Chain A
Amino acid sequence: MRTTKGSVAIPPIRQIASFASLLRNDVINFSNSNTQLMGPLSILSELPEWLNLLIAFGIGIGFGFALEQAGFSSSRKLAGMFYGYDTTVLKVFFTAAIVALVGSQLLSFFGLLNLKLVYVNPYYINSAIIGGVIMGAGFIMGGYCPGTGISALSIGKIDAMIFLIGGMVGAFLFAETYPSIENLALENYKGAMRIDEWMGVSPGVFTLILIVAAVALFWLAELAEKKFKRADITREL
């Protein structure tokens, strides 16, 4: 089956043009009106509650599996991120964020996901920063974050059990002290602010910037792992 040069060389202009529009606009393609399957399913298909909870359980299985496979069930591996000898955290974290960012935009482009119905975290400047700083301190003391702590608990790490008990105490203390910190928690509210809009670029351009930044960070991470190598620790992980 030979084709002439001409017939394969003609680029599908329309497709290229519509892909290019991904870089300019937050395209939601409603043109394919006979598409029945559109996400978020729980919202658009009005799933019964038991099915939503079953989906949550299934998502959790995938989440726990992925974290454990990545090695996030090991506090010494996680702590390597902050001393340079193991930078798995950075690689997994940014890869996951980019896969979800690109994947959701592609689903939206093909009319399979209405991104306007997906939850966007509200931005409270003060509590995001102060809460983040408190979390960072907890991370370096405890060696886990809540998700990785649950991952480590699931394979029997006793330090993770204690971390999570501490976490329950932390949630309890927050609830009990909430009246006195309520103002702090609600200050400087900016709504569900989007970073691409804040920077004045399109979602596609922002995604490209993030990918370039991630590749640069991956390269730095590889350098760090050589410079701060701790074979005595990584051998045991």
Chain B
Amino acid sequence: MGKSKYMNPYLAGTLLGLVLLAAMFLSGRGLGASGGIKYTVVALVGAVDKQHAMESPYYSKYFEDGESPLKNWLALEVLGMVLGGSISGALAHRLKFKVEKSPKISNNKRLLFAFLGGIFFVYGAQLARGCTSGAALSGMAVFSVAGFVTMIAIFGSAYLFAWFFRSLWI
């Protein structure tokens, strides 16, 4: 089964830029991803322990209007992302359950670091009010200083730490 090649990066970038432009034109905002994860967590906490959610200064603001935190622009956008990614993967014959990793490390090591990486990334994204999509890319597209600073901080830090984690990748 032959895998299709990926799209030319400049063409894919143009496509991504047009999607971002559509979000700005239609909804007056940029793209996001970590926000969708946050709303999922807020909804889960609300479902498990409503009292804790209502008493917490952080969670309570998401329950003020009485609607589900998932009835939200970002949550719907992230749901769409999963469908869009699946369509692309299906067209390119890339749909497959697998752990992607360097052959030099075990599955467990890969999954452990994936888990830790997720914790770090989304914690940082909550602090910076957005991740690579919502803060860096979307911010840069509207001349936001925060967007440029966050972009430089993310990539600069990843280069800085790359040497320590090189055994995971090369």
8 Å CB contact of B80 from A64, A113, A153, A192: A64
8 Å CB contact of A60 from B10, B29, B76, B125: B76
Provide the residues of chain A in CB contact with B102, threshold 8 Å: 76, 233
B127 with A127: CB separation less than 8 A: yes
A170 with B123: CB separation less than 8 A: yes
Known: A53-B73, A141-B113, A156-B96. A167 touches B34 (CB 8 A): yes
Q: How large is the interface on B (under 10, 10 to 19, 20 to 34, 35 or more residues)?
A: 35 or more
Known: A56-B27, A56-B74. A63 touches B81 (CB 8 A): yes
Known: A135-B124, A139-B117, A145-B121. A154 touches B81 (CB 8 A): yes
B119 with A136: CB separation less than 8 A: no
Q: A126-149: contact bitstring with B at CB < 8 Å (1 yes, 0 no)?
A: 011111111111111111111111
A121 with B147: CB separation less than 8 A: yes
B123 with A173: CB separation less than 8 A: yes
The CB with the most chain B CB atoms within 10 A, among A104, A137, A157, A184, is that of A137
Known: A69-B88, A117-B28, A141-B117. A233 touches B143 (CB 8 A): no
Provide the residues of chain A in CB contact with B47, threshold 8 Å: none
A66 with B12: CB separation less than 8 A: yes
B33 with A147: CB separation less than 8 A: yes
Q: B61-91: contact bitstring with A at CB < 8 Å (1 yes, 0 no)?
A: 0000000000101101111111111111100
Known: A63-B31, A70-B6, A203-B143. A132 touches B154 (CB 8 A): yes
Provide the residues of chain A in CB contact with B54, threshold 8 Å: none
Provide the residues of chain B in CB contact with A179, threshold 8 Å: 57-58
A59 with B80: CB separation less than 8 A: yes
Known: A95-B14, A101-B141, A141-B120. A146 touches B89 (CB 8 A): no
Provide the residues of chain B in CB contact with A160, threshold 8 Å: 114
Known: A159-B111, A195-B148. A70 touches B13 (CB 8 A): yes
**Nearest-CB residue, chain B, relative to A57:** B80
- B22 CB to closest chain A CB, in angstroms? 6
Q: A44-61: contact bitstring with B at CB < 8 Å (1 yes, 0 no)?
A: 000000001111111111
Provide the residues of chain B in CB contact with A30, threshold 8 Å: none
Known: A70-B9, A159-B110. A166 touches B115 (CB 8 A): yes
8 Å CB contact of A174 from B23, B92, B127: B127
Q: How far is the CA of A152 from the CA of B145 in the complex (A)?
A: 29
8 Å CB contact of B77 from A57, A79, A129: A57
The CB with the most chain B CB atoms within 10 A, among A63, A158, A164, A197, is that of A63
**Nearest-CB residue, chain A, relative to B125:** A135
**Nearest-CB residue, chain A, relative to B101:** A159
Known: A131-B125, A146-B125. A169 touches B119 (CB 8 A): yes
**Nearest-CB residue, chain A, relative to B56:** A175
B158 with A82: CB separation less than 8 A: yes
Let me know if A220 is at the binding interface, CB within 8 A: no
Task: Provide 7 A-B residue pairs closer than 8 Å at the C-beta atoms, listed in order of the A residue.
Answer: A100-B141, A104-B141, A127-B127, A135-B131, A153-B85, A167-B122, A169-B115
Beyond known contacts A103-B21, A162-B114: 4 more, CB 8 A cutoff: A62-B18, A101-B140, A155-B94, A170-B124
Residues of B within 8 A of A (CB): 6-7, 9-10, 12-31, 33-34, 36-38, 40-42, 44-45, 56-59, 71, 73-74, 76-89, 92, 94-102, 110-111, 113-162, 164-166, 168-170
